[in-house]
Structure 1
Amino acid sequence: MDWLHEHPDVKTIRIAAADLNGVARGKRVPARFADKILTEGTKFPFSVLNMDIWGEDIEDSPLVFQAGDPDGLLLPTERGFMPMPWLEAPTGLLPIWMFHLDGRPYEGDPRQALARVVERYKAAGLTPVVATELEFFLIDDSGGQLRVPPSPRSGKRRTGAETLSLRALDAFDRFFTALYDACEAMDIPADTAISEAAPGQFEINLMHQADPLKAADDAWLFKLLVKGLARRYGFAGSFMAKPYEAWNGSGMHMHFSVLDEQGRNVFDNGGEEGSEALRHAVAGCLAAMPGSTLLFAPHENSYDRLVPNAHAPTGIGWAYENRTSAIRIPSSGPKARRIEHRVAGGDVNPYLTVAAVLGAALNGIEDKAEPPPPIQGNAYELGLEQLPGSWGAAIDAFETSPQIKRIFPAHLIENFVMTKRQELHYMAELSDEETVELYLDTV
């Protein structure tokens, strides 16, 4: 309650949890009742974390009519209160996650799934260090066609790609200044911003955390913030994987290393090639990649991004300092030796993505698995084994993957498969325009 006492102008709060699609589900509560939420939590049905992208129940889900649509218990995460700078009235946000009424973690909660992976690392005496890079578009969707919004400074639209352009960043300086101020207020460690390879596309790096739950929280909250704040400036902030057919899509690249109990990076062997543990982790990530693709590309539009020669990986391979590969080992000092996983789109649920990558890496470390030789040259031209090429194929691979079964509980796997099969069925009824309208704000 200290935060609320320090912000007496806050009259309402939002309590919010991430569903399987990463959509925030929750309630609006008068601030004077916040103490009850902190001490007793709140309730809503287990099924709420298993909605489809439209916010509809999953047909024939055992969570709904078969079980009587029972409640779960939602308790605050360790994050605590924070402001919601995209709203006009001063408002507090309290992230929550789901438990059974007897206190057991609910296995269908994506944040609980990541906590389960973190516990596996703790049992092995290891701590993952995670950072994310999030790409997104600023889009004028006020007319019949998506366009780059006019600069708040000049009123002009820049229609070309301006990679690493200061002019593109400066055109939206007011927005980015407000975004960084909001990140500081919400304890989101936003670092470098750059303009990216498509019109109106930008990337912001979030600093590494020796707490994967904090890193995933940061990414999830950052997405809520960008989408909400952009609307205050009159345009959309979208993490949709591929809003423009003619331009590259948006990704969420994830960097990670692993520390032992003495705080040493187990990927560091003093040289550029990295340690045996690094190779084992790479092997685990490669082995799990076909089954994990549904988590890295969870929506119909996601597969428009995963095409050759579009700066998104399509083949299953790894390399040193090569951005055409699915897994890249960046050049760095030995103590900063790390793995960059480049498959995920901007439209992912960060909790599931971080869990999938870290869980796969730990599988490889536990098995002492060996990867194939690192690739050289253009990965698109090497005849590598390919990621599942369609949404339906990815759903099937996720459902049957032995690696996925080691990472995620059976209940979450079943829920996610049912969700995606329902979305796959109903998305076939939508036009291209309706598809864009659906995904632009939701993901």
Structure 2
Amino acid sequence: MKDLSNWLRKHTDVRTIRVAAADLNGQARGKRIPARFAENVLKNGTRFPMSVLNLDIWGEDIEDSPLVFEMGDADGILRPTERGFMPMPWLEAPTALLPIWMFRENGQPYDGDPRHALRAVVDRYRTHGLTPVVAVELEFFLIDDSGKTLQVPPSPRSGKRRKAAETMSIRALDAFDTFFTDLYDACEAMDIPADTAISETGLGQFEINMMHTDDALRAADDAWLFKMLVKGLARRHGFAASFMAKPYPEYSGNGLHTHFSLLDAQGRNVFDNGGPEGTEVLRQAVAGCLTGMHDSALVFAPHANSYDRLVPGAHAPTAICWGYENRTVAIRVPSGSPSARRIEHRVAGGDVNPYLMLAAILGAALVGIEDGLQAPAPVTGNAYAMEDLAQLPGSWAAAIDAFEKSPFIARILPPELVRNYMFTKRQELHYMAELTPEEQVELYLDTV
């Protein structure tokens, strides 16, 4: 509290603050408050209905949700997370963002808050004397959406549009050098650990990796804040940035890959056996991720457009399998130094809620460790061509059904969150059928 108050006193140019929490779709929900009244938020928190964290992608109430009329649309109390204040470099006026999360009136965490769901999984690891170390890779497109069809923006340097994918092209990065320079400066100001940037296989597509951290909540915060920053900053530069799973049918979509390892109480990587194959604990974690993958697909592919990405041969996994140094599988174990042995989970699209994604991944791995599950043989070669492998759900509706009925999901996520998420996705499924493909793209381009 004292540090937060000091931050405000040191930044007297800040005129307003935003207090914001992530809803189940990862949308920022909150309030704008004059900076002179910010101390009240620090002291007493702020309030808004619990149903606000359970809105659909349009920001509408969930019609069947008991949170709305059945429970009188009761308030939750939202308090600052440990992240504290940070600038919002994509806005014109000096403004600070204060991330918050929701509690009940009695001080207990609100189970419908996705950040609390991840916290609960991390707490379970702590009871085993384990700490997840996490890093994420975020892919996004820079898009000119000013016309009837989406296209890559013209380069601010040359004025030309590069209408082809340029995988790992320095020229593609340099074409938007001003944007990326501003982006890295903004990440430093917001304390987001952005590392390497590359151009990807899609049209105007890029990827930025985050540095690994032994704080999974912070890793999710970084991903959530980074998505907000990239979209806001791109608009300041005159174009759009989008993390939607598949904006262009003919190009690969956006992924959000997660790398993780586990440290014991002495700080040793429990996946490291000194060789390339990793430990039994690594294979148990892999087995847990594979066992829970079908039922948790709705977390990794939460929207109608998500399933356009999960098609064979499009650089996104479709089969539930794993392998060493193989990018056609869902779970990859990268090569490299044994001390850095880790698991890469490759299923999630860029359109996910990072808190739910990490809760599902780390929760599944922990179930595998707790139950001593055995992983199948690793896949070598092209997993897309192997017809005998179990598959991810092929549609949004199938993923919703699998998630709702899953005893595995019930071991990872609290019942209230599962219920709220189901209500949300069934409502979205119903109303999305009324939209044309063009209207769906317009909706998802800026939201997810």
- Category of TM-score, reference length = shorter chain: over 0.9
**Mapped partners of 2:398, 2:267: distance in 1:** 41
Correspondent of 1:64 among 56, 64, 68: 68
1:240 deviates by 0.4
1:402 deviates by 1.5
1:39 deviates by 1.1
**Mapped partners of 2:10, 2:384: distance in 1:** 54
> Is 1:310 the counterpart of 2:314 in the alignment?
yes
| SS of alignment partner, residue 436 of structure 1 | helix
Query: Residue 423 of structure 1 corresponds to which residue in structure 2?
Result: 428
Query: Residue 398 of structure 1 corresponds to which residue in structure 2?
Result: 403
> Is 1:145 the counterpart of 2:149 in the alignment?
yes
> Is 1:6 the counterpart of 2:5 in the alignment?
no
Correspondent of 1:195 among 179, 192, 199: 199
Query: Residue 336 of structure 1 corresponds to which residue in structure 2?
Result: 340
**Structure 2 matches for 1:41-60, cutoff 5 A?**
41-60=45-64
> Is 1:37 the counterpart of 2:65 in the alignment?
no
1:401 deviates by 1.4
1:400 deviates by 1.2
**Structure 2 matches for 1:8-23, cutoff 5 A?**
8-23=12-27
1:300 deviates by 0.1
Letter in 1 for 2:319: G
Correspondent of 1:115 among 119, 126, 134: 119
Correspondent of 1:432 among 433, 437, 440: 437
Letter in 2 for 1:441: D
1:60 deviates by 1.6
The percentage of aligned residue pairs carrying the same residue is 74
**Mapped partners of 1:2, 1:191: distance in 2:** 29
1:407 deviates by 0.2
Query: Residue 276 of structure 1 corresponds to which residue in structure 2?
Result: 280
**Mapped partners of 2:376, 2:219: distance in 1:** 30
Letter in 1 for 2:19: I
Query: Residue 186 of structure 1 corresponds to which residue in structure 2?
Result: 190
Query: Residue 77 of structure 1 corresponds to which residue in structure 2?
Result: 81
1:2 deviates by 1.7
| SS of alignment partner, residue 361 of structure 2 | helix
**Mapped partners of 1:348, 1:418: distance in 2:** 17
Letter in 1 for 2:72: G
**Mapped partners of 2:372, 2:275: distance in 1:** 20
| SS of alignment partner, residue 194 of structure 1 | strand
Query: Residue 223 of structure 2 corresponds to which residue in structure 1?
Result: 219
TM-score normalized by the length of structure 1: 1.00
**Mapped partners of 1:2, 1:79: distance in 2:** 14
| SS of alignment partner, residue 208 of structure 1 | coil
Query: Residue 128 of structure 1 corresponds to which residue in structure 2?
Result: 132
Query: Residue 303 of structure 2 corresponds to which residue in structure 1?
Result: 299
**Mapped partners of 2:202, 2:214: distance in 1:** 32
| SS of alignment partner, residue 37 of structure 1 | helix
**Mapped partners of 1:74, 1:413: distance in 2:** 21
Correspondent of 1:88 among 89, 92, 95: 92
1:403 deviates by 1.3
| SS of alignment partner, residue 407 of structure 1 | coil
**Structure 2 matches for 1:204-283, cutoff 5 A?**
204-283=208-287
**Mapped partners of 2:83, 2:324: distance in 1:** 36
Q: Deviations over 1:372-429 (max 9, x none)?
A: 0000100001121000000000001111112110000000001001100000000000
| SS of alignment partner, residue 135 of structure 1 | strand
Letter in 1 for 2:289: C
| SS of alignment partner, residue 376 of structure 1 | coil
Q: Deviations over 1:310-334 (max 9, x none)?
A: 0000000000000000000000101
Unaligned runs of 5+ in 2: none
Letter in 2 for 1:321: E
**Mapped partners of 1:442, 1:319: distance in 2:** 34
**Mapped partners of 2:329, 2:100: distance in 1:** 36
Query: Residue 418 of structure 2 corresponds to which residue in structure 1?
Result: 413
Pairs aligned (count): 443
User: More deviation in 302-311 or 400-409?
Assistant: 400-409
Letter in 1 for 2:364: A
1:5 deviates by 1.4
| SS of alignment partner, residue 211 of structure 2 | strand
Q: Deviations over 1:216-253 (max 9, x none)?
A: 00000000000000000010010000000110000000
Unaligned runs of 5+ in 1: none
**Structure 2 matches for 1:142-181, cutoff 5 A?**
142-181=146-185
**Mapped partners of 2:422, 2:64: distance in 1:** 12
TM-score normalized by the length of structure 2: 0.99
**Mapped partners of 2:138, 2:408: distance in 1:** 26
Correspondent of 1:362 among 366, 390, 395: 366
**Mapped partners of 1:177, 1:280: distance in 2:** 42
**Mapped partners of 1:36, 1:215: distance in 2:** 28
CA RMSD of aligned residues (A): 0.5
1:78 deviates by 0.1
| SS of alignment partner, residue 221 of structure 2 | helix
Q: Deviations over 1:27-62 (max 9, x none)?
A: 000001111101110000000000000000001200
Correspondent of 2:350 among 327, 346, 349: 346
**Mapped partners of 1:40, 1:337: distance in 2:** 44
> Is 1:24 the counterpart of 2:2 in the alignment?
no
**Mapped partners of 1:157, 1:263: distance in 2:** 49
**Mapped partners of 2:232, 2:384: distance in 1:** 37
| SS of alignment partner, residue 209 of structure 1 | coil
**Mapped partners of 1:388, 1:199: distance in 2:** 27
**Mapped partners of 1:49, 1:236: distance in 2:** 26
**Mapped partners of 2:260, 2:120: distance in 1:** 17
